[in-house]
């Protein structure tokens, strides 16, 4: 699960957030509306922070966040989605379709596919199937059928695509993402230094945004949000020095120390010592 939003201060990106809002609020009757936004850019440009902001804004709608840099296998992605779904009181996964499809392998064993905690044993059972991709597709279908059940319109956030090994990239681009995009109720956001390149017809449902560095106005807004009065006239210099890269700016601001305000002198500070005030009128 993503860390609390307080640890990922989000500044600017108003245009990207507006596009995300239009995507999630799209009219499902209009087939030309896009379903996915891919955020692409170099390290420290703020891709993860943008995904965290989208995640926070859709907590009430059913939102899922997967850090792909922590996923080694395809089924780990599905397990992460399933565990988050159950945390949101969504009844997943049933895996009934999977159980039926692999009836020959599971006929002699009774397994409850509705309990996330026994999913490892279920996956061991399904591992006997010869066609691994077919098995994973079946798991994905069963899970996604539950995620979009009823009136739910889930938002899926996938971070750090560039961290995936090639087999995982192939599975995401050729299997999972197309599967998500065939379900009109789902909105998808992917971020990475590189992003998936989908084939038609799925590419038409995706818009890729290359995140630019912060401009001077954004840096000034950040300074104001932090309350750094001593930096208000230095936004141009700070933006140029750090290239407008949010990660570098965040590091700079984290180490910035505001000068302490001068403490006003006490009214009695200039009075000579030894007066009667400190001695109750007695002689020293």
76-111 pLDDT, tens digit per residue, is 999 899 889 988 888 875 445 455 555 544 443 344
Q: Taking residues 226-242, what's their average pLDDT?
A: 96
What is the structure's pLDDT at 247?
93
When pLDDT is averaged across residues 206-214 and rounded to a whole number, the result is 95
Residue 267 makes CB contacts below 8 A (sequence gap 6+) with: none
Q: In the predicted model, is pLDDT for residue 187 greater than 80?
A: yes
- Residue of 123, 158, 155 lying closest to 139 (CA atoms): 123
C-beta atoms surrounding 203 within 10 Å: 14
* pLDDT, tens digit, 9 for 90 and up, residues 6-35: 455 677 899 999 999 999 986 644 445 689
pLDDT, mean of residues 102-123: 46
Read off φ and ψ for residue 259, nearest 5 degrees: -65, 140
* Residue 159, helix vs strand vs coil: strand
Looking at residue 71, what is its pLDDT? Answer: 92
Q: Is 4 exposed, middle or buried (0-12, 13-18, 19+ CB in 10 A)?
A: exposed
Joined tokens for residue 19: 């596009």
Query: pLDDT averaged over the chain?
Result: 79
Q: What is the pLDDT of residue 141?
A: 83
Where is pLDDT greater, at 67 or 273? Answer: 67
107: its two tokens = 């006929």
Task: Band the pLDDT of 261: cuts 50, 70, 90.
Answer: low
Q: Tell me if 52 sits within 8 A of 2, measured CB to CB.
A: yes
Give the global pTM.
Answer: 0.76
Q: How far is CA 247 from CA 18, 193, 235, 251, in A?
A: 22, 14, 16, 6
pLDDT of the residue at 188: 96
Range from 145-149, 169-173, 195-199 carrying the lowest mean pLDDT: 145-149
177 near 161, Cβ under 8 Å? Answer: no
- Would you state the pLDDT for residue 145? 85
Question: What pLDDT is recorded for position 75?
Answer: 85
Q: Which residue has the higher pLDDT, 197 or 281?
A: 197
The terminus-to-terminus CA distance of the chain in angstroms comes to 70
Contact 84, 56 (CB under 8 A): no
| 35-64: pLDDT as tens digits | 999 999 999 999 999 999 999 998 877 899
The percent helix, strand, coil of the chain (3-state, each to 5) is: 50, 10, 45
């Amino acid at each position: 699960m993503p860390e609390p939003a307080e640890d990922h201060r989000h500044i600017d990106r108003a245009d990207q957030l507006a596009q995300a809002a239009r995507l999630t609020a799209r009219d499902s009757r209009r087939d030309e509306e896009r379903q996915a936004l891919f955020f692409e850019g170099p390290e420290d440009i703020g891709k993860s922070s943008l995904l965290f902001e989208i995640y926070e804004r859709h907590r009430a709608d059913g939102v899922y966040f997967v850090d792909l840099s922590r996923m080694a296998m395809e089924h780990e992605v599905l397990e992460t989605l399933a565990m988050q779904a159950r945390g949101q009181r969504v009844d997943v996964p049933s895996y009934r379709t999977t159980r039926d499809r692999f009836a020959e392998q599971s006929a002699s064993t009774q397994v409850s596919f509705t309990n996330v905690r026994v999913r490892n044993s279920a996956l061991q059972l399904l591992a006997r199937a010869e066609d691994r991709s077919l098995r994973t597709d079946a798991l994905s279908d069963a899970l996604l059928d539950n995620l979009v059940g009823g009136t739910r319109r889930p938002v899926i956030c996938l971070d750090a695509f560039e961290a995936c090994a090639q087999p995982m990239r192939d599975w995401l681009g050729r299997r999972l993402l197309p599967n998500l995009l065939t379900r009109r109720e789902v909105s998808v956001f992917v971020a990475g230094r590189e992003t998936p390149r989908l084939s038609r017809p799925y590419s038409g449902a995706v818009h890729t945004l290359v995140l630019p560095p912060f401009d001077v106005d954004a840096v000034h807004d950040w300074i104001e949000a932090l309350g750094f009065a001593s930096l208000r006239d230095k936004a141009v210099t700070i933006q140029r020095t750090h290239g407008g890269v949010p990660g570098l700016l965040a590091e700079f601001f984290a180490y910035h120390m505001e000068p302490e305000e001068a403490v006003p002198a006490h009214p009695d500070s200039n009075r000579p010592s030894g007066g009667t005030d400190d001695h109750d009128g007695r002689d020293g």
